Structures are given as C-alpha cells and as structure tokens.
Chains A and B, each alone.
Chain A
Amino acid sequence: MISGILAISIAFVAAAVSAAAFWLFYRDRDERFYQLASRSFAVMVAGIVFSVVLLYYNIFTHNFQLNYVYSYTSLKLSTYYLISTFWGGQEGTFLLWLLYGSVFGIILIRTVARREPMVLFFVLLVQAFILLILLKKSPFAMLWHVHANAPVGIMPADGQSLNPLLQNPWMIIHPPIMFMGYSSTVVAFAFALNAMVKRQFHAWVKMARPWVIFSAMMLGTGIIMGGYWSYVTLGWGGYWAWDPVENASFVPWVFSLVLLHGLIIQNRQKGLVKTNLALAALMFISVLWGSFLTRSGVLADFSVHSFAEAGLNIYLVGFVALFTGIFLFLFIKTFKNSMGSRFAEGLFSRETFILIGMLTLLFTGTVVFIATSSPIYTGLFGQPSNVSIEFYNVISIPIAVFLLASMAIAPLLAWKISEFRNPKVVGISAAASFFITLIAVVLGMNRPVSILLVFLSFFAVAINGYVAFKFVRKIPAKSGPYLAHAGIALMIIGIISSSIYNRSEKVTLPAGQFTTTQFGYDVQFVSFVQSPDGKDRVRLIVKTPKGSYYAEPQFYYSEYTKSYMLSPHVDMDIAKDIYISPISFMPGSNGNQKQVRLSKNQQEDLGELKMTFNRFVTGDHTDQAPMTVKADLSVSVKKGDAWQDFNVQPAIWMENNQLASDEVQLPDTDYSLKIEALDANNGSVTLSVNTPLSDVQKSPDILAVEISEKPFISVLWFGTIIMILGVAMSLYDRVKHQHQ
C-alpha cells in the first residue's frame, strides 16, 4: 500500500531532520533550527498518526489484500478484537511504539525541549530507527510482496484471524500497556545521555524521575495483567513461567525500579551519579535486548510463545549496538567529571537499606537477563542450552529475603544518620507478624523458607502500612511509596501461598454421575454447552462444603489452531481459588465392539479380558502371493473366578488392493478379535474386540479434568492493586511537585 509506505518514509525523513535540527539548535541556539525541528517533528507525528489510522481503516474495512490484515484479522472478529489485532503482529507493535514515542515527544517539546534539545535528539534517534525497521518490515506490504507465489491483486475472501488465545478481554489492554512501558524507557535514557552531553549530572534527576516512575508503573501493570491473563485463560494453572517473553518484560521493570531508587538517593545526597546514568542505559538497552530476543527467533526453540523469523536480526542487533555504543562513548568521555558525593554515613541509615534493595534488584535483573540469554552464549560453545525454571525459583528465595528485609527496615530509619525510630511500632509490628505467621503455620505452612518469607512479608506490610497510614492523614500523596512496598510484600505472600501450597489432582468424570475427589468435592460432568462465539464449554456441577456451583471451563475445537483449545474455570474466593482445567475427553462406547490399539508388549485390560500384543508374524511369501501379517497375541479371559489363557494370531492381508482380515473366535468364549489396522512405523496394531452381548455395558463419555486449589492467590491480586495504586500516587506527587 503505497500511501502507507510513503507515510512511514516521510516520517522517517522528518524524524531524521528533526533530530538533526534539535542538535543544531543545541549547538547554535538559533531559533530557526528550533522552528525546523519542531515542524519536522510535527510532520513525523502526522506520518505516524496517518499510518495508524490507515492500518485501522484497512483492518475495519477488511482489506485482506494487505498482508497484515490478512494475517491477523477475519470477518467474524468483533469490533473489540479488531482493535486488538493492531498489536497482534510485530509491525503493529512497532507502530504502537512509534505512536507512544510521538506522544512522549510532544510532552517533552512542551516542557523541556527548549532547555534540553538533546533530549529530543535522542528520542528522535530511537524513533528514526524504529521507522527504519518498519520500512524493512512494513505493515503496509501487500500479500504478493510477502508471498512469492501469491498472484498480484488477489483479494482473499477472509483473513486468517487472530489466535483464539488472544481473543480475550485482557489481551485488548495488556499489550498497549506493556508497550507504553517499553517505549517510555527511552525518555529517562535520553535525559541521561543529555546529562552527559551537557556535563550537568544532577539536573536530569528531577526531570527524569516522573518518567521513570511512569515506566515502572506501566511495565509493572502490564506484566501483572499478562500474568493474570495467563492464569484465567491458558489453563496450566499459573501466572508466571519464566518464559523468555515474560523475562524480557520483567528485566526492564526491575531495572526501572533500581533506577527509581537510585534517583531518589542522588536527589537527596548527590551520590550514585555514574550508577544512575548506567542504570538508565541498562533499563533502555534491556528493552531493546528483550525485543531482539523475542522478535528475532533466536529463542524459538526455548519458548512456548511463537516467534516468526522476521529477518530483522541485523536491524535489531544494530539497534542494540548503536545505543550501547552512544552510551559507552559518552560515559567514558565524561567519566572523570561525573563524580558524585559520598553519602550514607551511618550504617543504619535509610540510604544503606535502599542501597541493599537496589543491589538485590540489580542482581535479580542481571541474573534473569543472563539466564534468559543463555541459549545465545551456550550456542557459541556447543549445544544451545537454556535455563530450567528451577533456577529462577531457587534464586528468588534469597532475593525475596533481602528485598523484604530492606523494605521493612528502610522506612524506620532516618536519612543520612544511623538512628532507629519508633521502637514501639517495630515491636508491635513484629509481634503481629509473628502471630499471623503462627496462624499460617497452624493452617499447614511448614517449610522454614516459607515461614521466614511470610513473616518478613507481614512485617514489611505492617511497617509500610503504618507509615502510609500516618501520611494518608497528613500528606496523602506521600504515602504512595509505602503503599507500593506494602503491596509488593502482599504480592510475595500471595505468590508463596498460591505456588508452594498449591495442590492439584486429576479426576476422570463419567458423564451424568457425581465423582468424589480426593479434596472432598463432588463433581459431575453434565454436558457440553454450545457457545455462539464457537468457544464451547463443558458444564460441571461442583459441590463443595460451602455450596455448589456450575463450572464451565472452555473446551472447544479451534479451526485456527486445528486442535482442541481449553480455558479453565476459576472459582475465586479470598481464602482459595478452585481452578478447574479440562484435560481430555473420551467419548463413551455404547456398542459391544471395542477398538484397542496396542504397541509391542503393551497390555490392555478390558475388565473380563486382558490381552498383550507380542509381535508381528510375517509368513514366507513370494511376490505373487498376498502378503499376510499376523499379530501374535496372548489373551486371558475371565471365566467364573478363573482366568483362561489363549494364544491367538489374527491375520491381515492385501486382497484386490484392499485390506482384509479374519475374525478369530476365542475357543469356548463369546469373544472374538479382528485386526483393524497396522502401523508399520511404530509397530502397533489396532484390534476390534467383540465382547459377549451379555456383558454389554454402555460406557459413558468421560471427561478428565485437573482440579487445583490455590490458597490466598487473592492476596497476590490485592497486593498488585495496592502496589499500582501506590506507584500512581507517587507519580502524581512527582508530577505535581515537578517545578518545586
């Protein structure tokens, strides 16, 4: 689509011109350059907005000639999901990134551009680079540009639609929030680079702080929404799997938190100057690195997320290298000048504990970063290896201990000097936390590690909650950071209780009758329930001690994936969630014939009849004679109380180009066997077993489900809300006091 490609090309040129003009304005302070810069910026924004509108126009008018529209949308998608197809593919997410970059740029132009034109220069450099990528991989490519064998001008009747897993309300808001977080990290990075260019190492702190809080808030919110989506949609029972795509969002978030705290210390004590510059770079470069890992296909073998090899590797690596290079160049050049002051005189000062928290987070981010990238560097020396989930689970324990300890202790300490405050509050909090932890132990929490972590978490909640409460009455906005910390401690409690004390069982449910499970639920599989959107459900009745309810997890055949899709039913409660996932559906048999598939030496138990497939017997044959294969079977049949053994060899052969087989009657019984099919590839045989009519019992349909109990997972979601609220309050506080 030529107009779209043109718009992106114009935007690219405009971004480059604007960047150059901002640089010239910085050098010469000539007003004409500023005018040129801001006008070119406006052209770039216009080009990007035009592209966004154009793509949406094509999505909504179902112009399947466009490869993007064909690949991700279809006629039957509802309006909401059509909106979300915009970020269903890589090209769309880059466009989204550019749109956010434009919005941030506008805000920067209205606030700091005149004083700090180089900030805009760096932001525009990033914009230009993404535009370049979109020229390479255009959202406006026609089908016949992408697929060599598609005839020019073809208009498919329908598109390939959006993956049904992404057709979920959470997937409408999760990606845009995530990308808002990703794209916003450029601002703090640009401020840091600008600080080095100007050799003013403190002025950027105040300006960058609200942006860093914003990045942290958006990344955190996005990550948690993704986890929640995974929990309520995917049916594997969890919200976090340390998957590369998840880690690629986790690492920048963690670095944004480190930077956030570093800036607090620099703002107060003029220390950590170099650290903060490096952290701003680390945060931004980890975003770039993450998008390289997840978009380039290098991790395709190591993730359940699907990656399309997009041929962008060289661009993405160039992207990472360019900005790392710019940072290192400026960092080294100004290394001698950027000395900070010494700070944190006392051992038990607040700075010390913030620093401990920062180090812990820095360690966390770095380790996850290194572990996620492991297939790349292990691939250099041999077999590419990735890191098992166990690794992340092991290292997160000491990390949690240090984080909780620093979060609990820091609010009690004074800045700069070593002085304990409020011994009474500490005493009461510790006693209360001890008491609550004791209750948890009585309820069954038994591992020492969980006991320690839960105690520390409650302690951190109590201390931060107390300080937050004190502020709420005086200066409400100042309670934000404490609320955020209390929220994180609550989240840790929820994570521990719902993962370590998660228990699950698998049950098979014959249709129409109640089955009592080990956990003491009575569950009945009622029937399939049709759904107008094609996502059929299975209806279960679940009787718990507290009452009964219908559970309707999704279980349907998807044309898109050509397979069965499932989604759990989650019965949410404060004390525990009951999580039910379908596993398998086995249609019952209502005839007297049963098909059995046996591999070599496999035994099949049909109740009154047991049989084992020993081997295939192939007789001597010439080319003229039909080839006959016999299956040698050992069969035992129950007669009264005794078992009678047989050895039989039913045969199968080719006759007039068709398979024929004989039916073998077991002597003195009513059973007979017949070969239905052979599979030479894996050496298995499929038999049909005719059972005596007197034994005919209709076997019902059977549904297998997994039932899990997740204690206090509600605390995780509650803590999340508290944390986000706290961060939002500190953002408000920062923006309000920006000019003080």
Chain B
Amino acid sequence: MKPKYIVGILIIVVFIIFAAINLSKSLTPYVTVEEARKSSSVVQVKGQRVPGSEHFDVDQKQFSFRMADESGKEFQVLYNGVKPANMEQAEEIVVIGRFNGPQFEAEQLLVKCPSKYQAEGAEI
C-alpha cells in the first residue's frame, strides 16, 4: 500500500474519532428539573411557563421567568437573550442550559406554539 493511502486513511480515522467524541459529548437529553439540578452538563428541560412570571430586569437587562417541568416542579429560568416573540402563546417551552445555583441559566429557549389546527373546531 502506498504511504499516501495510509496517511489518507489515518486522517479519516482521526476525523471520525474526533467527530464521534464530540457528538457523544454534545448530546443533550431531555431531563426533569431534579435531574437537571444534579447535572453539570448542558441539558434540556421541557415544560410550561408560569403565566405572568415573565420579568425583564431593567438593571441586569436580563429576562427571567418561572417554568414548571412536566412533573409540575417549578424553577426560575434566566435567559440572556431576546425574549421569543411568541412566548405568551407557548403551550410548551424547552430550555437548554444548566443550573447555576437556584436558577436555570438558559442558553437557548425554544418555544412551541399551539398548532393552529387544534383550536379550529371551536372557531368554525
């Protein structure tokens, strides 16, 4: 076998290992609040927002709200970004991040809005 192929295969193998390690590292599972509190890595928690708890702190310039996970446990979420436009309508919210003390610091906030197919029957 030519050395050129060996080098090539070696590089490919290194790449694949590199990708595999990073992939397994960055898998973020859905967990409950309890599991999220214990976890030191980035996780995602699914749940409902607590209505009326959205608060924009003018001094800290941070957006925070309370959220209840699927088992109903509430926790405070701090989000350092722009409040998603359709937050109030969300039937479900996914926060991706980790706990820092009592608060969940969200790196990402996904907002699932009710599919418009659902409310339809009543309106027609």
CA distance in complex: A681, B26 (Å)? 35
List the B side residues contacting A563 at CB < 8 Å.
85-89
Min Cβ gap B98→A in Å is: 11
Tally of chain B residues near chain A (CB < 8 A): 50
A565 lies within 8 A of chain B by Cβ: yes
List the A side residues contacting B55 at CB < 8 Å.
597
Chain B residue at smallest Cβ distance from A307: B115
Majority SS of interface residues in chain A? Answer: mixed
Tally of chain A residues near chain B (CB < 8 A): 64
CA distance in complex: A582, B63 (Å)? 13
On whether the beta carbons of B30 and A384 are closer than 8 Å, the reply is: yes
**Are A583 and B63 CB-contacts (below 8 A) given A306-B115, A388-B42, A388-B96?**
yes
On whether the beta carbons of B89 and A562 are closer than 8 Å, the reply is: yes
Min Cβ gap B88→A in Å is: 5
Chain B residue at smallest Cβ distance from A235: B82
B121 lies within 8 A of chain A by Cβ: yes
Within 8 A of A (CB), among B1-57: 4, 8, 12, 15-16, 18-19, 22-23, 25-31, 42, 44, 46, 50, 52-53, 55-56
On whether the beta carbons of B85 and A387 are closer than 8 Å, the reply is: no
B72-93 Cβ-contact flags toward A at 8 Å (1 or 0)? 0010000001110111110000
List the A side residues contacting B85 at CB < 8 Å.
235, 558, 561, 563-566
B86-115 Cβ-contact flags toward A at 8 Å (1 or 0)? 111100001010000000000010111101
A236 lies within 8 A of chain B by Cβ: yes
Chain A residue at smallest Cβ distance from B41: A388
Name the contact of A385 in the complex, choosing from B27, B52, B89 (C-beta under 8 A): B27
List the A side residues contacting B12 at CB < 8 Å.
359, 363
**Are A383 and B116 CB-contacts (below 8 A) given A359-B12, A562-B89?**
no
A476 lies within 8 A of chain B by Cβ: no
Chain A residue at smallest Cβ distance from B28: A388
List the A side residues contacting B117 at CB < 8 Å.
71, 308
On whether the beta carbons of B124 and A301 are closer than 8 Å, the reply is: no
CA distance in complex: A509, B85 (Å)? 19
Q: How many residue pairs, one in A and one in B, have C-beta atoms under 8 Å apart? A: 137
Chain B residue at smallest Cβ distance from A394: B22
A586 lies within 8 A of chain B by Cβ: yes
Chain A residue at smallest Cβ distance from B117: A308
Most buried by A among B26, B63, B121: B26
Majority SS of interface residues in chain B? Answer: mixed
A28 lies within 8 A of chain B by Cβ: no
On whether the beta carbons of A143 and B88 are closer than 8 Å, the reply is: no
Min Cβ gap B27→A in Å is: 4
List the A side residues contacting B30 at CB < 8 Å.
301, 383-385
A341-374 Cβ-contact flags toward B at 8 Å (1 or 0)? 0000001000010000001000100010011001
Chain B residue at smallest Cβ distance from A384: B30
A397-410 Cβ-contact flags toward B at 8 Å (1 or 0)? 01000000000000
Chain B residue at smallest Cβ distance from A705: B82
List the B side residues contacting A71 at CB < 8 Å.
116-117
On whether the beta carbons of B82 and A395 are closer than 8 Å, the reply is: no
**Are A383 and B31 CB-contacts (below 8 A) given A562-B88, A682-B66?**
yes
On whether the beta carbons of A387 and B81 are closer than 8 Å, the reply is: no
A160 lies within 8 A of chain B by Cβ: yes
List the A side residues contacting B63 at CB < 8 Å.
583-584
Closest 10 CB pairs of A and B: A391-B26, A506-B61, A385-B27, A385-B29, A383-B29, A584-B56, A388-B26, A563-B86, A149-B121, A565-B85
Q: What residues of chain A have their CB less than 8 Å away from a CB belonging to chain B?
A: 71, 143, 147-151, 154, 156, 160, 235-236, 300-301, 303-304, 306, 308, 347, 352, 359, 363, 367, 370-371, 374, 378, 382-391, 394-395, 398, 506-508, 558, 561-566, 581-584, 586, 597, 599, 679, 681-682, 684, 702, 704, 706
Additional A-B contact list (18), CB under 8 Å, known A384-B29, A386-B28:
A71-B116, A150-B121, A151-B124, A236-B81, A301-B94, A304-B111, A308-B115, A347-B4, A374-B23, A383-B30, A384-B30, A385-B30, A388-B26, A566-B82, A583-B63, A584-B63, A586-B56, A704-B61
Give 15 pairs: A residue, B residue, CB < 8 Å, sorted on A.
A147-B120, A149-B121, A160-B120, A359-B12, A370-B23, A383-B31, A386-B28, A388-B26, A388-B28, A390-B26, A395-B18, A398-B18, A563-B89, A583-B82, A583-B83
